[in-house]
Amino acid sequence: MINKEVRVRFAPSPTGYLHIGGLRTALYNYLFAKNNKGKFILRIEDTDRNRYVDGALDNLISTLNWAGLTADEGPETGGIFGPYLQSERLDIYKSHIKNLLVNKKAYYCFCTQERLRDLREKQKQEGLQTKYDKHCLSLSQNEIDINLRNNLTYVIRLNIESGKDISFTDLIRGEVVFNTDTIDDQVLIKSDGFPTYHFANVVDDHLMQITHVIRGEEWISSTPKHVLLYDYFNWEKPNFAHLPLLLNPDKSKLSKRQGDVAVEDYRDKGYLKDALLNFIALLGWNAGDDKEFYKMDQLINSFSLERVNKSGAVFNTEKLDWLNAEHLRKLTNEEILNMLKQELINTELVIKNLSDAHLLLIIEAMKERVSFVKEFITSCPYFYSEPTEYDECVIKKKWKEDSPKLLKLFSDGINKIENPSKEDFESTLKNICVEKNIGLGKLIHPLRLALSGVGIGPGIFDLTYILGKEETIKRIDKALEIIIN
């Protein structure tokens, strides 16, 4: 049982698109917070000005909002621990770095890039780990003051004592131990005056009262530096939990080289947000059963860090497609209608204006046959405009010598019925087949071809009813004219 209020943060850098792995990190933070009646904070770590991308911040926030992961505190929503952009917190970092300098836990480094490069090359040649050699730690206060007065370029480094073990308990991986001999004297303040991720991260997590740091596995090697900073400041450390990597099917790290990794790519392809969240929630976590279909409230109720795996999770788009279809079928036809109408606005096809009632008939007929909303258009364009060509393979297999005569009988039959119902279309077709002593398929196959141009689709009586009497007759006449000739 967690006693104090749970406060977690998602702290991305605005350096481009939101990676699918970033969305999973945000989701796990969000689920953990909501499961524990806590707060989900969005903090933007924008102190690396060389990697900053214009528009990335707005895109990042809008993508999170699209996914429903709205922050309780953040740049948009505000909060008592703001500002939530690190570039607006520079005075805070300056005041805290002074504390470390006074207590000799950090030191000025005036080494040039040339010296640092030569040092690295020498260490590589000697087979040593590349790390700073503490050259500037021995500078006297007088030397430091002279260098500062002369405006020499400097950074401020973390002073790491050698020969000590640093340990922390990871909520997913158990106890983790690092020796300080393997840890570099990390730069805390860069030459441009901005803090590095490591320093700003720890200061902000403390000041924003973050209780649990839930982030990707790639940050484990940085955590000892963060633990040291907490110790140097004499601050209480948060709980750490490092999530497993996301992997390609070949078990390599998920990367753009092998497919889409941006959340926006999946949104633009038509994946439902609930399906995408359901899918990525299962990339490294399960509730201990075989359940795979979750809505957001179910994820919140079921989620725990104890059930997060240590090993990497394979990103399987086939499973994502299956989940998207499952989530789509759980929507009401009216919910799908609103999405379909937006797709129709965006489509390049020339489509006549159809009533909501007509579109709802299409949705009902196709719901079990599609995985994406756009497929209510792309997989059945014949509902929106008459076919301009007919599948040659279907003609060879299903178009028989008596097909024109049977189609004409069907056309004449429904022409005699005023406002035929679906049952009227069905009885007309069946009566002809009984009268001619033929199987239903003998008429159904050429009729489908005439109406849709293809050999597969929804039930033939749904198709005829949705198209209506006049359109059905018109398409039969056109097909007879083109296919026979």
The answer to whether the peptide bond before residue 83 is cis (omega within 30 degrees of 0) is yes
Q: pTM of the entire structure?
A: 0.92
> Both 34 and 109 in a single domain?
no
pLDDT, residue 350, reads 64
Residue at which a domain ends, from 188, 215, 243: 243
CATH number at residue 418: 1.10.10.350
Supply the CATH number for residue 35's domain.
3.40.50.620
368 plus 339 within the same structural domain = yes
Residues 270, 335 share a domain: no
How far is 175 from 181, CA to CA, in rounded Å? 19
258 confidence band (pLDDT: 50, 70, 90): low
Instruction: Report the pLDDT value the prediction gives residue 49, as an integer from 0 to 100.
Output: 79
80 shares its domain with 197: no
Position 27 pLDDT exceeds 50: yes
Place of tokens 């740091």: 213
Q: Are residues 93 and 29 in the same domain?
A: no
Predicted local confidence at residue 250, as pLDDT: 84
Distance (Å, rounded) from C-alpha 425 to C-alpha 414?
7
Residues 181 and 211 in one domain: yes
Residue 349 has pLDDT above 90, yes or no: no
Residue 255 has pLDDT above 80, yes or no: no
284 plus 413 within the same structural domain? no
Tens-place pLDDT, residues 263-284:
999 999 999 999 999 999 999 9
Domain that holds residue 357: 331-383
Amino acid 206: pLDDT: 98
The active-site residue, picked from 164, 256, 310, 408, is: 256
- Let me know if residue 322 belongs to a domain: no
pLDDT bin (cut points 50, 70, 90) of residue 181 is very high
Instruction: Say if 206 falls within a structural domain.
Output: yes
Residues 281/286/289/291 CA torsion (nearest 10 deg) = 10
DSSP 208: T
The residue from 243, 269, 285 where one domain ends is: 243
pLDDT at 72 (0 to 100): 97
Query: Are 375 and 234 contained in the same domain?
Result: no
Q: Report helix, strand or coil for 7.
A: strand
Mean pLDDT, to the nearest integer, of 112-134? 96
Q: Are residues 28 and 48 in the same domain?
A: yes
Query: Which residues, other chains included, contact 339 with Cβ-Cβ below 8 Å and sequence gap of 6+?
Result: 373
Residue 245 has pLDDT above 70, yes or no: yes
User: Are the CB atoms for 254 and 247 separated by under 8 Å?
Assistant: yes
199 lies in some domain? yes
pLDDT of 256 reads 61
Q: Does some domain include residue 401? A: yes
* In-domain check, residue 212: yes
Q: What is the CATH number of the domain that holds 337?
A: 1.10.8
**pLDDT on residue 311:** 92
Domain boundary among 223, 243, 263: 243
User: What is the predicted pLDDT for the residue at 261?
Assistant: 87
Dist. CA 416–CA 411, nearest whole Å = 9
For residues 344 and 453, what is the distance between their CA atoms, to the nearest angstrom? 21
Q: Is 142 part of any domain?
A: yes
Answer yes or no: is 323 within a domain. no
Residues 101 and 237 both lie in one domain: yes
Q: Is position 478 annotated as part of the catalytic site?
A: no
What is the reported pLDDT for 308?
97
Q: How far apart are CA 43 and CA 47, in angstroms?
A: 12
Number of structural domains in the chain: 4
Q: What pLDDT does residue 1 have?
A: 46
Q: Are residues 132 and 80 in the same domain?
A: no
Report the sign of the C-alpha dihedral through residues 54, 58, 64, 66, in that order: negative
Average pLDDT over residues 425-434: 97
Q: Does 378 share its domain with 394?
A: no
As given in the structure block, the two tokens for residue 74 are 């953040």
pLDDT, the chain, mean: 94
